[in-house]
Structure 1
Amino acid sequence: MSTYENKATYRKGNNVKKGQAHQNTTAWKPNKNSKKTREINALPVYGLCQRCTDVILWRKKYRKYKPLTSVKKCTGCEQKNIKEAYHVLCNNCASQKKVCAKCLESKEIITEKEEIKSAADELKDEQELERMLAKMTLRQRRSYMRKLERGDDVGEINIDDLDDFDDFSDEDDSDQNDQDSN
């Protein structure tokens, strides 16, 4: 007899399994100060359906995510183009076939690669905003910040226009100073 047959139960009826023996009372928390954890959490998740995105986010949350160490071969074009862990198709093949890059099912893709900004892009945008705010007058700055808070479209404001405005305000100040001295 095999060991499996020895352990089998011969009880008739009422073969309902019991629940989990030990329930967790507190949630597991990874080491948040770990450099590796910060790097993994900074990696963007894109080109996947909702289910695959949830799976990847779960893996990141519970430290099960293993990033790629080298570039991986795409199953569609057979070239080494995959730079994201758990993906099977490269971005080009997935977008051409309109499928999820992980499960290969034609579901709605949550985020595309083009929609995600890198840290360098965000830093550049932030610096541009600070430069633009520095060129504004106090009234313009407050008006701009109110529009941002309301969610109004602020794309129409151009930095070049602010430069022109500053030039005019300097001329007005110099004219006023000339009048005061006379």
Structure 2
Amino acid sequence: MSTRRGDKGRRTRPQRHKNTFAFKNDLHDKHTPLIKLINTLHVSEVCERCKEVIEWKIKYRKYKPLTQPKSCTKCNERKVKRAYHVLCRDCALDSKCCAKCLKPAGEVTIVPPEPTDEEKQKLKVEMDQLIKSQPERKRRTFLRYMNKGKKKQNVDSDDEDGERREKKAPETTPRTREELMEKFEQLKLTGTNGEDVDNLSDDEDYENFSDELSN
């Protein structure tokens, strides 16, 4: 019997055979350095659609990392270090387009790049200078906000095939400079007589960063 859309005898029952558990790309080699590296990749400098494609490849073990940098299609230098990208990081940021499909930022939403170690250090120094003038409680609140990062949305529900997704620990991404500055302005406008912004009484997370306040 045909199941083509529009046929009178279209099947309405769900599929007969379903997976009992979700696919895990590190089921048999969790401690392999390559698998660890692939699973911790931060997909950026691409549009949302291309990000979904690359993340699907990572999830189902179809991702093939580059063994050596390849040439950028714009500057022709061997600076492309991410698989499936055709532009290097610098050219993608300068041209404001997707590093994979080359669609401009006006048509698609580009995922912001992960900051480099130098950028992280520079941002940390800048934020340290800002919070020195704030009271102790606001310093702690700001440091918790900065170091916890931003949680990603993880779905734990039935997918289209009725397969139950596995619960995972929430992943986090670093806060951007704009988000940190917005939080800092909120703290500046917050009074000190009992007003609370982000659970100021909880100092447990602050203990790991007490050395940053020693100055």
Sort the TM-score into its range (normalised by shorter chain): 0.5 to 0.7
CA shift at 1:33, angstroms?
Answer: 3.5
Paired position in structure 1 for 2:55: 57
Equivalence for 1:15 = 2
Kindly indicate whether residue 187 of structure 2 is the aligned counterpart of residue 153 of structure 1. no
Residue 99 of structure 1 contacts residue 109 of structure 1 at CA under 8 Å; is this kept in 2? no
**CA-to-partner distance for each residue in 1:130-149, whole Å, 9 max, x for gaps?**
xxxxxxxxxx5444224556
The structure, 1 or 2, with the larger RCO (C-alpha pairs under 8 Å, 6+ apart) is 2
- In the alignment, the residues of structure 1 paired with residue 62 and residue 84 of structure 2 have an alpha-carbon distance, to the nearest angstrom, of 12
Q: What's the TM-score, normalizing by structure 2?
A: 0.48
How far off is 1:104 after superposition?
1.7
* Residue deviations 1:103-125 (CA, integer Å, cap 9, x gap): 12223343333xx2357876998
Q: How much does 1:102 deviate? A: 0.6
3-state DSSP of counterpart to 1:28:
coil
1:111 aligned partner: 111
Larger of the two Rg values belongs to structure: 1
> Percent sequence identity over matched residues?
37
Gaps of 5+ in 2: 5-10, 128-134, 146-181, 189-210
Cα distance change on mapping 1:78 and 1:123 into 2, 3 Å: closer
* Number of aligned residue pairs: 139
Go from structure 1 to structure 2 and tell me whether the alpha carbon gap of 1:36 and 1:99 turns closer, same or farther (over 3 Å shift): same
- Partner SS state of residue 57, structure 1: helix
CA contact (8 A) 1:76 1:93 kept: yes
Q: 1:98 and 1:148, CA in 2 relative to 1: closer, same or farther beyond 3 A?
A: closer
Calculate the TM-score normalised by the size of structure 1.
0.55
Quote the residue 1:67 is aligned against.
Answer: 65
Structure with higher helix content: 1
Please report the RMSD computed on the Cα atoms of aligned residues, expressed in angstroms. Answer: 4.2
- Structure 1 gaps of 5+ residues are 1-13, 130-139, 164-182
Alpha-carbon distance in 1 for matches of 2:70, 2:101: 16
